[in-house]
Amino acid sequence: MQSYESVKAETIHEVDLVEALLDPLDVVSVEENTKGDSFPCANRTGLLYTGQRLIEVSVDFDRPAWLKTLQRDYDDREWASTIETRSNSGEVTVTLVSPGGITLHISENETQAGAPLVVLESFSPCGTVDD
């Protein structure tokens, strides 16, 4: 098992890679909603890193099309992926799981003021903690 700091760094790196797939001209702002939190793993022998990044995009950015392209791109990288479209809102969510256990949930949402968002939620595999 890798160290907590190592799995955390790998997870943040994968979030950075997804964000880099957005055209900078479509990005209005980026906010790290949390510095990342750690939680005990189910087996209680390590910690799991979680983080959330909120990316406000321009109003004319086609979030569903971008998310569908993202899913296809990650299928090509041999990540497991699912895509869901909410029946009540039509909002799309993509879940990506790396061969190493990093999980990314990428979805569309809106700010309180109604601006369009891409939300990147990340979850690392368990990592060991040195005492």
Any domain includes 111:
yes
Could you list the residue range(s) of the whole structural domain that residue 54 is in? 4-123
User: What per-residue confidence (pLDDT) applies to 48?
Assistant: 87
Arithmetic mean of pLDDT over the chain: 90
User: What per-residue confidence (pLDDT) applies to 36?
Assistant: 61
- pLDDT of residue 131 exceeding 60, the answer is no
Percentage of the chain modeled with pLDDT above 90: 70
Give pLDDT tens digits for 41-90.
876 678 888 999 999 999 999 999 999 999 999 988 889 999 999 888 88
Q: How far apart are the first and last CA of the chain?
A: 15
CA-based torsion, 116, 84, 96, 103: positive or negative? positive
Give pLDDT tens digits for 17-27.
999 999 999 99
Integer Cα distance of 54 and 81 in angstroms: 21
- State the average pLDDT over residues 105-122: 95
User: What per-residue confidence (pLDDT) applies to 23?
Assistant: 95
User: What per-residue confidence (pLDDT) applies to 11?
Assistant: 95
Collect all residues with Cβ–Cβ distance below 8 Å to 91 and sequence separation of at least 6: 64, 85, 107, 108, 109
Integer Cα distance of 19 and 13 in angstroms: 10
Any domain includes 66:
yes
Any domain includes 128:
no
Collect all residues with Cβ–Cβ distance below 8 Å to 5 and sequence separation of at least 6: 127
- State the average pLDDT over residues 107-123: 94
Any domain includes 44:
yes
Any domain includes 131:
no
Name the residue among 80, 78, 82 with its Cα closest to residue 106.
Answer: 82
Any domain includes 17:
yes
Any domain includes 8:
yes
Question: Would the pTM count as exceeding 0.85?
Answer: yes
Any domain includes 130:
no
Tally the domains of the chain.
Answer: 1
